[in-house]
Structure formats: structure tokens, C-alpha cells
Structure 1
Amino acid sequence: MIYLSQLLGNPVLDADGEKVGTVSDLGIATGEVFPRITSLAFMGPGRTPIMISWRKFVDTYDENEVHLKVIATDLRFSYLQPDEVLLARDILNKQIVDTHGMRVVRVNDLKLSDTSSTQLRLLGAEVGARGLLRSLHPALERVALRVCRTFGHPLPEKIIAWSYMDLVERDLSNVKLSVSHKTLDDMHPADIADIIERLDPRLRGQVFAQLDDEQRAGAMAEFDDDAMAAELMGNLTETDASRMLSEMDPDDAAELVSELDYDKAEKLLRLMGVQEQRAIRQLLGYRENTAGRIMTSEVASITETATVADAVELLRGLDEDFESVRYVYLTDEDGKLSGVVTLNALIVAPAETRLSELATEDLVTASPEDDQEDVAEDIAKYNLLAMPVVNDEGRLLGIVTVDDALDVLEEEHAEDLRVAGGTEGDDSGHASALIWLVRRNAWVALWALGVIAVALAVGGRLGLQETLAVSIPLAAALVLADDSVSYVTNFFLENDPDDEDSPSMIGFTFRGIGIGAVLGALVALIVLALESIMASPAVPTVDPSLEGLGAALTTGGVAAAVSTFLSFAFTPIYLAVLRHRDAHNKETSGFTLSAVAMLVAVVVFTLVVLVA
């Protein structure tokens, strides 16, 4: 057996015994159970880095020197292959994941085994004190071993086999590992989260980015540090972050979104499918530290008149990533929770049995405004795997699962140990429509970049200055068209068409027409006011060529007013599309709806300008 530390720095001698350099590194072929040494890297004359094939040119080796088969002039350089890594550069003194011990360790040395007179293979990494002492100086290791033996406490090696090593310091996603090699990707999300939390801060984002969406979502839900979780998500692109949120359970996603600033959260939610966005927004509508905030809306429910066969068919149709099912909840003809059937009862009952005959009607339920600690304690008290959350009318809103309850109890216990009081979250509620529109309109400067190109399409009979004047109201028309889609989306998320208290489609239509008329008139008045100011005798005309801007601005104002009115008049169509696709369990992209609405606005605006 020999160690990498014993080879580094040793002289490299050619066939004539002439020194050609000193050992600086060894390359291995990773696609093997016990990787063989494939390359020898050494520093040649003038500190020139040289790499040669181990098999072709190395004759013998020991702890003191390496002998080559040929003279220096016959050496031929080689290059590192895609499936090869360098031991000293890529592994030594680096953090790795011990996938067997589920921990992060630092490599102090690497143990090699000679399978023949010249062939070396990597056995594993030394992560204990012996490897650290040996890397400093072999004499330190010998002294430490003698001292430990004297006191009857041996100092064993701590070797992690190559098959249990996962390299995280470099992006080795394209490196072919051995078939039996277990990597970080194969571990449970909770173990992945623990390992990432223990990594150096500069490595966390690198490792997290190498996981796929499902693994990221699972690990993100297991992080104890919410600030670190938000930071990791902030390092992802908006598309990747939104896709990861879609993979998470709604309650976990809502908790993560609540840690983000308003603008960032809105961007990510708008990129999500409407169905996932709706579930998250509903949970965010409840106060922090309440049952509504930690419940999940993924519930297996069915009418009380159904049979066991119907319930089994329902369970078979659920997605693989559906929240773990422990109970099937029954609802009456009014949609109220009437009972619950356990999976055990379903398994042993005949298929034709009515669920109402198996149901437990004496239910323990929670209100969405109940304190989360009280709900968690009740789950523990009554030995439940999940507790249903119902509104004042008794309708099922969601469930609080036992794993969420355990998280709450753990957090509360940690706070008690720190003798620190809990902090109340801000009761932000739903922002008013006016404040929401003001925040959204801050993006008008970004839309204006594309507005100029659209305005030039009607520039055939308008001068450049008049075309630029028309582009100003077009910018407002585009932003308000985007706002009309957001208005529809918010209405869709907050109102259930099956709810008797929900506004009717007729009421929504008249309300949209009214908003469109008011906003259209407001746009027209602002543009006309600007035109009257420019035409006022009190304002001197600096350049005679600017006299036509007032008329162009008026034309654009009228076009923007008509476009804005029609954008909100079309909102019932957008709402009908959303509800139709939701009824068929299809996702709808908010970005696509916005793009369609703005395209319609551009077409209407252009037609009005051409007619005028």
C-alpha cells in the first residue's frame, strides 16, 4: 500500500537515471470500481508541466522515486481524457460527500494499492487524523501512532471507498463514474439538504445547481435555514426557480415564497402554471403561524355516496407526486366534510361497500386561522396522520400532515430552548388593486423598448418624431393590457365558480367593462392634456418641425384609450379559458396569456391609428 502524499514531490528518473522532474499529480480513470492510475504529471525543467501515460512510460515506483522505461527524449506528452480526474488537483484537500455515512468530509490523503509491479489503483480517501499528519510529514504520523499505542488507544485509518465518494468541488457531471458508484443524486432529499448545509458557502450553489428539479424541490423543503434556502433559490434563473416551485408541495412552496421580496415572488409565481399559482396564493392569503399557512390543498376527497371501488379508482388516478395519502375524505351534497375513511378500511372492505358505512363521523378538524402549534399538538394528542382544515361552513380546504406538525413542534421546541419568543409575521393580506397596478406599471420603461419597434410599423405616413410621439400612449396600452390579464388571474385564483358567494360571470363582465372605460378615459385625458399644453400659446415652439407632435399624440391617445377599453372588455374571454383549462386539469401559462393580450392591444392600437 502506498499513499499519494508519499509520491508527490518524488524525483522522476528516465531510463539512464537522469532526473527529468518531480511528481506533481496522478490521473485516474473514473469509470472503474477501483480506478487505475492512467497518467503521471510532473514538473519538468524550468517548471514546465508535463503529463505522460503511466502504462506506457512508468517502469517502477516506490516512496522515494519513480523510474521511467525510456530516456527523456523519447517521452510523448498525453492529455487528460473526459473520464479522468487528477487526484491532487481535484480530490486532495477538497470537500467530498461520504454517501455511506451521509456526511461531508475533507480528503486528507488518498490510499493506493499496487495490483502488479507497475499498476496502481485508487482504494479510497483518508479523511482521518492519520492522513492529515502524514500529509504534513510522515514522521508526525509515526509519532502519533506510538503515543496512541502507549495509552492503549489505537489511531485507525478512516478510509472512504471510491464507490462511496461523490465529488462536489468540480463540476464532474460529464465524468463517467463506475456503475456501482453512489452519488449525491441517489440520496434521500433530507440527507441532501443536510449535506448541502454543511458544505462551504461557495460550494452550496454549485452542488445545488447540479440537482434536477425534483431533487431540488425535495431538498429545498428539508432545509432548516430559510434564509439559506432563499439564497440558493436566488442563484437560480427565474425559469428554473419557478419550475422548482411547481415541483414542491404547495405548503412548502408557499413558505419559501414568503421569504422572498414582493417583486421576486411575483415574477416566479407568474411563470408558474395557473393551477400551482392558485394553490400557493391561497395559502399565502393566511396569516403566518396558522393552520392555513402550513396545510396542503392536495387532498383525496370524494362524495359520501361513492363506493370503495370508486375510492380505489380515485387513488389510482392521482399523480405520483401527490401528497402522501393516509385518508379519503367524504363530502356531502353541499360540499361539506361529512366523514373520513382510512386506507386500512378501504383495503379490507368489499368493492361495492358504500364509503358512508366505513366512515368515521366524529372528526377532529381545524380552522385555517387556528394557531399552528395548537393544531400540531392536537395531531399528536389524537394520534392522527393528518388533520382536515375546514372553513366556517364546514367545507374542506386542505389537510395538515403529520410531517408538517412535527416540523412545527420541532421549531417551537427550539424556540423554547433559546428562551426566545416567536415573531409575528406581517399580516399583509391581498394588496389593493390600486397599489398592485402602481407596482406593475413600474415596468413601463422595459416595455417601451419594444414599443418603438411596433410604432415604426405605422411610420409609413408619419415622420419619425410623430411616430415616437405615438409610441408613448402605446406603452401605456401595452402595460394596461398586461394588467388586464393579471386582473383576470387574480379573480380566478381568489374566486371558486362553484362557490355561491363568488361573483357571477355577468357581474365580472360588467365590472371589467367599467374598469376598461375608466382607465381608457383616464389615458385619453392624460394624452389630451399633454397635447393641449404643447398647443398652448404660453409654450413657445422651439422647433417648427415639432408642431405635428400634438396631433400625433392625440391620435395615439385615442388609440390607447380604445385598446385599453377592449383589453378589459375581453377579460371574460380570458377567464372562460382559464376555467375551461382548469376543469380539464390543464396548466395555463400566465406569460402566454399576457403575450396574447398585448398582441391584441398592439393590433387594435395599430388599426385605430391607421383609421385615424
Structure 2
Amino acid sequence: MIYLSQLLGNPVLDADGEKVGTVSDLGIATGEVFPRITSLAFMGPGRTPIMISWRKYVDTYDESEVRLKVTSTDLRFSYLQPDEVLLARDILNKQIVDTHGMRVVRVNDLKLSDTSSTQLRLLGAEVGARGLLRSLHPALERVALRLAKTFGHPLPEKIIAWSYMDLVERDLSNVKLSVSHKTLDDMHPADIADIIERLDPRLRGQVFAQLDDEQRAGAMAEFDDDAMAAELMGTMNETDASRILSEMDPDDAAELVSELDYDKAEKLLRLMGVQEQRAIRQLLGYRENTAGRIMTSEVATVAEDATVADAVEMLRGLDEDFESVRYVYLVDGERKLTGVVTLNALIVAAPETRLAELATADLVTASPEDDQEDVAEDIAKYNLLAMPVVNDEGRLLGIVTVDDALDVLEEEHAEDLRVAGGSADGEDSGHASTLIWLVRRNVWVVLWALGVVALALAVGGHLTLAETLTIAIPLAVALVLADDSISYVTNFFLENDPDDEDSPSMLGFTFKGVGMGVALAVLLALIVIALMNVIMSPAVPTAGLFEGSLGDALVTGGFAAAASIFVSFALTPVYLGVLRARDEANKETSGFTLSVVAMVMAVAVFTGAAIALAGPGGMVGSGF
């Protein structure tokens, strides 16, 4: 086995041992399962690019050189064929779609397999850290492997076989590839949407253009980011965009249209058929985050006096792209919902059986103005595959299906995680994500250091470094409790609905927050005073360390931290008000951001209080 990075830059020697250039690239024939190396590209004298046939001219190769069969005068140049690509130019450091793992990755190196003494084939792409280190310098990879082995965490190769790869970044004007997006065509729309979302923005349109209308519509409906779907829709011509909207389910199409600007949305709706346009406009008439907004108007209905045979005939007449049928709903002459028959009951019943005999009349329904989260929770509670939505008169307007309910619950869960300061992305993105996680979990350390610097700048003129650092010790406690104050706020926000009569009032929350602030502040002050009494006792060997100004500095820091803690919890009603106001405006709020704001406020209060207490004529050095 050998890697592309081990060949690039190696000398190319002719049959006489004379150097004719250095390896710059390798060409492959893309039409094979594991493509063979067909061309050798190297830089000749005067940096002249030269390409020759690998099979015809290459004799041997290794990690140090490539030796040719003929002398330099017998070489004949060749050209890249339409089914060939260059590994370094067209694949290395490019994005690829791993159609087996359903993800987008970047190629760090390419692994080659020798099938004979001279024949090389492309085995796959190295997308892990080893390939990146090796491409920088082989020694880096060796050092990393030794370190990983020492700490008991092997650093494995991450190879994606060529048969599972699909190029998504290439210059089609220069290279015509036999590798197309047929593998993407065979994927589920959810997998296609996931891949497109992970691509660089400039590549999304290229991949999206490879899909037909049905696949585009399916992928559009599966995007987690509605704004991204709207952006892709905005790049298309109006006729194509309108046609894709027509292919989508009405609820998905309405969600997408709501993300477009008004003029664009109106143009697309006017180009649609009358029925599709009416269905979308009806859904857009309901408020966001309600059952009416996520329901579909495609419902399988029959008259309440119909038979099983009538229902089967109705089902056979539905369009192929009709919303999946889980139930058949019975309606009277005014389209009022009177019952529901499950598909299972319909299949086993005799054709002449009246549906009213099979129907369930005790129905769980929703109003179009009900909160979408409440509807989703009811669907989960009653194990429903769909919930009918009816108006005040009992007329059937549509249904909320279980897949839409799952989407709602997933969105709400992700939002709750963001508010609580967690991550909505459950995937492990490697060392970068670990570093980010570490910083997020320990941001108080950074803010503590900034607080020390700010304090030193403010009081450094008359206090020693030791006194300044001693004052700053209790700041760590103030920062941790400031973070806890936000956890208290977010937990209250997530667990209590302000519209619920049983929910605690804002006044009660305020009193509790202030009370906690007073209690914790007094507790810290008492702990610092008690600690000083203990460590200043003659029986303690280190008593002399805190005599005089250092002891005063520790007490000053304790009082400043107490003031900071009190302010942190006194501000909890403000933070709760911000959370509720942004939620009412349908805006997301990060719990991590709130924590940072609270800790910055804690640093500011602590610094101000410490300066007031430790300034000229203050506590430190006064023999307090």
C-alpha cells in the first residue's frame, strides 16, 4: 500500500538513472470500481508540465522515486482522456460525498493499492487526521501515532472506498467524468438533504441541479434549515421553482413559501395550479407554530353512510403522490367529522360492511389554532398516526401526520437544548468539536482571567501582584454561581408555561431569585470570614502567609464576590423576561450566550466592588 502524498514530489528517473522531473500528479480512469492509475504527470526541466502513460513507461515506484522503462529521449507525451481525472488536482483536498456513510467529507490523502509490480489502483480516500498529518509531513503522522499509542487511543485510518464516493466539486468544463450522481439519485430524500446541508454553499446548487423534480421536492421537504431551502429555491428560475412546490406536500410547501420574500412567493404561487395554490394559501392563513400551519389538507374522506367497497374504490382513485393514508375519515353532508376507520379494519372487513359499523366515533381532534407542540405531544400520547384538525363547527380541515409531529418534537427538543446551553447537534465532529465543547464548559476560566487583568489594571498602582491575585480568588466562585443562575432561569423557562394558571408567577420567581442571591452572598461572606479566622490561627502552619494585606485582600475579594452573586440572582427576572420575549417573537436564544452575559456582568460587578473596597484608603493595607 502507498499513499498519493508519498509519491508527490518524488524524483522521476529514466532508464539511465537520469532525473527527468518530479511527480506532480497521477491520472485515473474513473469508470472502474477501483480505478487504475493511467497517467503520470511530472514537472520536467524548466518546470515544464509533462504527462505520460503509466502502463507504457513506468517500470518501478516506491516512496522515494519513480523509475521509467525508457530514456528521456524515448518519452512520448500523452493527454488526459474524457474519462480520466487527476488525483491531486481534482480530488485531493476536495469535498466528496460518502454515499455509504451518507456524509460529506474532505479528502486529506488517497490510498493506492498495487495489484502487480507496476500497476497501481485507487483504493479510497483518507478523510481522517492521519491523512492530514501525512500530507503535511510523514514525520508528523509518525509522532501522532506514537503519542496516540502511548495514551492508549489508537489513531486509525479513515478510508472511504472509491465505490462509495461521489465527486461534488469539479470543473465540468475541463474534465468530463464518468462518475455521475447516480448514487445520489438512489438515496432517500432525507439523506440527500443531509448531504446538501453539509456542503459548501457554492456547491449546493451543483448537487441540487443533478436531481429530478421529485427528488428536489423530497429533499426540500427534508431540510432542517428552512432558510437554506428558501435560498436554493431563490436561485432557481420561477417556472422550475413553482413546479417543485407543486410536487411537495401542501404543508411542506407552505413552510417553504413562508421563508421567501413576498414578491417571490406570490410569483411562484400564481404559476401553480389552482388546487395546489388554494391548499398552500389556506395553510399560510394560520399562525406559525399552530396545528393549522403544519396540517395537510390531503385527507381520505368518504360519506358516513358509505361501505367498505366505496372506501376501497375511493382509495384506488387517489393520485400517486397523495399524502400517505393511515385512516379513512367519515364526514356528513356538511363535511363534519363523524368517525374514523383504520386502514387495518378496512382491509379485513367484507366489502358490503357499512363503515359506520367499523368507525371510532370517540375521536381525539385538534383545533387549527392549537399549539403545534401540544398537538405533537397528543399524537405521541394516544399513539396516533395522524390527528384530524377540525374547526369550531366540527368540519374536517385536514390532518397532522406523525412525521410532522416528530419534526415538531425534534425542533422543540433542539430549541430546549440551545436554551439550556447544550448542543442540538448530536454528531461528533472530531477534535474541533471537543475543543469547542471544552471552551464552552470552561468559559468561566477565560472570564476569570480577564477579570484578573481588569482588576490588576485598575488597582495595580497601589497593590502588589500577590494582593491582586488574592482578591481575585473568590471571583471564580462568583462566576460559577452566575452560570448556575442562568441554569435556574432556563429550567424555570422550560418547565413553566406563562399561560398556564398553575405556573408560578413572575413575582414569585423574582422573590425566590433575590432570596437565593441574598442567601448565597451571605453564605460566601461568612465562609470567607470563617476561613480567615481558621487560617490566621497560630495553630495553623500557614497562618503567616495571610497576615496583613493578603488577609485583607482575601476578605475584600469575598465581599466583592458576595455582591456579584447577589446581582447575578437579582437579575434572573430580567433574563427570564428576555427568554419569554424572544420566544414570543419566535426567536431562538442560546443558553450559553445568556451564561456568558451573566458571567460578564458578574465580572463587572466584582471588579467594581473590589476597586471600591481595595482602592486608596480601602480595606487592603488598612489593617482591617
For the superposition of Structure 1 and Structure 2, which TM-score range results when normalised by the shorter chain? 0.5 to 0.7
Per-residue CA shift, 1:24-80, capped at 9, x if unaligned? 111111111111111111122222222222122222211112122233333333222
Question: After superposition, what is the alpha-carbon deviation per residue over 1:449-507, rounded to whole angstroms, capped at 9, x for unaligned?
Answer: xxxxxxxxxxxxxxxxxxxxxxxxxxxxxxxxxxxxxxxxxxxxxxxxxxxxxxxxxxx
1:363-442 equivalent positions in 2, closer than 5 A: 363-417=363-417, 418=419, 419=490, 420-421=579-580, 422-424=583-585
Off by >4 Å, runs of 4+ in structure 1: 171-174
For residues 6-17 of structure 1, what are the structure 2 equivalents within 5 Å? 6-17=6-17
The offset of 1:307, in angstroms, is 2.1
The answer for the alignment partner of 1:114 in structure 2 is 114
1:184 matches 2:166: no
Amino acid at match of 2:262: Y
Deviations, residues 253-278 of structure 1 (Å, cap 9, x unaligned): 10110111111111111222222112
- Aligned counterpart, 2:64: 64
Which residue matches 2:307? 307
Q: Structure 2-normalised TM-score?
A: 0.64
Other-structure match for 2:39: 39
Measure the CA separation in 2 of the matches of 1:131 and 1:219: 32
Stretch deviating more after TM superposition (387-396 or 296-305): 387-396
Match runs of 1:232-381 below 5 Å: 232-381=232-381
Separation of aligned partners in 2, 1:4 and 1:28: 12
* Partner-residue secondary structure (3-state), 2:67: strand
CA separation in 2, counterparts of 1:182 and 1:159? 22
User: Aligned equivalents of 1:292 and 1:177: distance in 2?
Assistant: 44
- CA distance, structure 1, for counterparts of residue 240 and residue 130 of structure 2: 43
Kindly provide the CA deviation profile for residues 61-108 of structure 1, in whole angstroms up to 9, marking residues without a partner as x.
111121222333333332222222211111111122222222222211
Match of 1:183, SS state, is helix
Give aligned-pair identity as a percent: 91
Deviation of 1:225 after TM superposition, in Å, equals 1.9
Q: 2-side partners of 1:115 and 1:425: how far apart?
A: 60
Q: Output the amino acid matched with 2:254.
A: A
Asked whether the 8 Å contact 2:167–2:179 carries over to 1, the reply is no
1:19 matched to which residue of 2?
A: 19
Q: Is the 8 A contact 1:58 1:118 kept in 2?
A: yes
Native 8 Å contact 1:99 1:182 kept in 2: no
CA distance in 1 between partners of 2:372 and 2:146 (Å): 58
**Residue in structure 1 matched with residue 128 of structure 2 by the alignment:** 128
The alpha-carbon distance between structure 1 residues 143 and 372, as it changes in their structure 2 partners (threshold 3 A), is: closer
8 A Cα contact 2:298 2:322, kept in partner: yes
Q: For the structure 1 residues 94 and 135, does the alpha-carbon distance in structure 2 shift closer, same or farther, using more than 3 Å as the test? A: same
- One-letter amino acid of the structure 2 residue matched with residue 310 of structure 1: D
Is 2:166–2:179's contact at 8 Å kept on the other side of the alignment? no
SS of residue matched to 2:246: helix
Amino acid in the other structure paired with 1:77: F
Aligned ranges for residues 489-568 of structure 1 at < 5 Å?
Answer: none
**Partner residue, 1:563:** none
In structure 1, the residue matched to 2:516 is none
Contact kept, 8 Å, 2:326 with 2:386, in 1: the verdict is yes
Deviation at 1:132, TM superposition (A): 1.3
The 8 Å contact of residues 8 and 24 in structure 1, kept in 2 or not, is answered as yes
Q: Compared with structure 1, are the counterparts of its residues 406 and 19 closer, same or farther at alpha carbon in structure 2 (3 Å cutoff)?
A: same
RMSD of equivalent CA atoms: 2.2
CA displacement 1:500-551 (0-9 Å, x = unmatched)? xxxxxxxxxxxxxxxxxxxxxxxxxxxxxxxxxxxxxxxxxxxxxxxxxxxx
Which ranges in structure 2 are unaligned for 5 or more consecutive residues? 420-489, 491-578, 588-624
2:177 paired with 1:175? yes
**Aligned counterparts of 1:8 and 1:182: Cα–Cα separation in 2:** 31
**How many angstroms does 1:413 deviate by?**
3.2
**Corresponding position of 1:226:** 226
| Deviation per residue, 1:361-395 (Å, 9 max, x gap) | 11122222222222222222222111111233322
Deviation at 1:174, TM superposition (A): 6.0
**Partner secondary structure for residue 49 of structure 1:** strand
| Residue pairs, 1:153-172, within 5 angstroms | 153-170=153-170
Q: For residue 147 of structure 1, report the CA deviation from its aligned partner.
A: 2.7
Contact 1:148 1:154 in 2 (8 A): yes
Aligned with 2:222: secondary structure? coil
Q: Which residue of 1 aligns with 2:575?
A: none
**Distance (whole Å) between structure 2 residues aligned to residue 94 and residue 330 of structure 1:** 56
Of the structure 1 ranges 128-137 and 411-420, higher mean CA displacement relative to structure 2 is found in 411-420
SS at match of 1:51: strand
SS at match of 1:387: strand
Q: For the residues of structure 1 that align with 2:176 and 2:383, how far apart are their CA atoms?
A: 48
The offset of 1:14, in angstroms, is 2.5
Distance 1:104 1:425, change over 3 A: closer
2:38 is matched by which residue type in structure 1? Answer: T
Deviation at 1:5, TM superposition (A): 0.5
2:258–2:284 contact (8 Å) kept in structure 1 = yes
Shift, 1:342, TM fit: 0.4
- With structure 1 as the length reference, what TM-score do the two structures score? 0.66
Distance 1:373 1:148 in 2: 46
CA 1:234–1:182 in structure 2 vs 1: closer, same or farther (change >3 Å)?
closer
Q: Say yes or no: does 1:139 pair with 2:135.
A: no
Match of 2:101 in 1: 101
Q: 2:25·2:86 contact (CA, 8 Å) conserved in 1?
A: yes
SS in 2 for 1:70: coil
Cα offset for 1:208?
Answer: 2.4
**Counterpart AA for 1:190:** A
Deviations 1:387-423 (A, max 9, x none): 1112333222211111112222232333344154434
- The residue identity in structure 1 corresponding to 2:39 is S
The equivalent of 2:193 in structure 1 is 193
The 2-side partners of 1:82 and 1:325 are apart by 48
Whole-angstrom distance in 1 between the partners of 2:401 and 2:298: 11
What is the identity, as a one-letter code, of the residue corresponding to 1:138? Answer: P
CA distance in 2, matches of 1:153, 1:375: 47
**Deviation at residue 425 of structure 1 after TM alignment:** 7.3
1:424 to partner: Cα distance: 4.6
The question of whether the paired residues in 1 share the 8 Å contact of 2:51 and 2:78 is answered with yes
Q: Given that residues 165 and 182 in structure 1 are in contact (C-alpha distance below 8 angstroms), is that contact kept between their aligned partners in structure 2?
A: no
Q: Is the 8 A contact 1:365 1:388 kept in 2?
A: yes
Contact residue 326 and residue 386 of structure 1 kept, 8 A: yes
Aligned length: 424
Question: In structure 1, what is the Cα distance between the partners aligned to 2:584 and 2:298?
Answer: 28
Paired residues of 1:302 and 1:311 also in contact (CA < 8 A): yes
- How many angstroms apart in 1 are the aligned matches of 2:8 and 2:238? 45
Q: Distance in 2 between matches of 1:151 and 1:337?
A: 66
